[in-house]
Copies of this chain bind each other. A is one copy, B any other.
Amino acid sequence: MSLIVQKYGGTSVANIEKIENVARRVIHTKEAGNGVVVVLSAMAGETDKLIALAQSASSEPDEREYDALISTGEQVTITLLAMVLNRMGYRARSFLGFQVKVLTDQAFKKARILDVDTEAIKKELEKGTIVVVAGFQGVDGENNITTLGRGGSDTSAVALAAALRADVCDIYTDVDGVYTTDPNICPQARRLDRISYDEMLEMARTGAKVLQPRSVELAKKYDVPVYVKSSFSDEGGTLVTKEDKDMEKEVVSGVTYDRDQAKITVVHVPDKPGIAARLFTPLAEHNIVVDMIIQNASIEGFTDLTFTVSRKEAKEARVLIEAVATEIGAGKIEVDDNVAKVSIIGVGMVSHSGVAAKMFSALSREGINILMISTSEIKISCVIQAKYTELAVMVLHEVFGLSQKR
Contact = CB atoms under 8 A, between A and B. Distances in A.
A79 B65 CA distance: 5
A58 B87 contact: yes
Taking chain A's interface residues, is the majority helix, strand, or loop, or is none over half, making it mixed?
A: helix
A275 to B, nearest CB: 37
Given A98-B98, A98-B143, A143-B99, A68 B58 contact: no
A62 B82 contact: yes
Q: How many chain copies?
A: 2
Nearest to A82: B65
Interface string A39-82: 00000000000100110111111101110110010011011101
Contacts of A59: 87
A133 interface: no
Contact of A93 (B61, B64, B66): B64
Nearest to A75: B72
Residues of A in contact with B, size category: 35 or more
Contacts of A54: 79-80, 83
Contacts of A78: 68
A91 to B, nearest CB: 10
A145 B94 CA distance: 11
A143 to B, nearest CB: 5
Interface in A82-105: 82-84, 86-87, 92-94, 96, 98-99
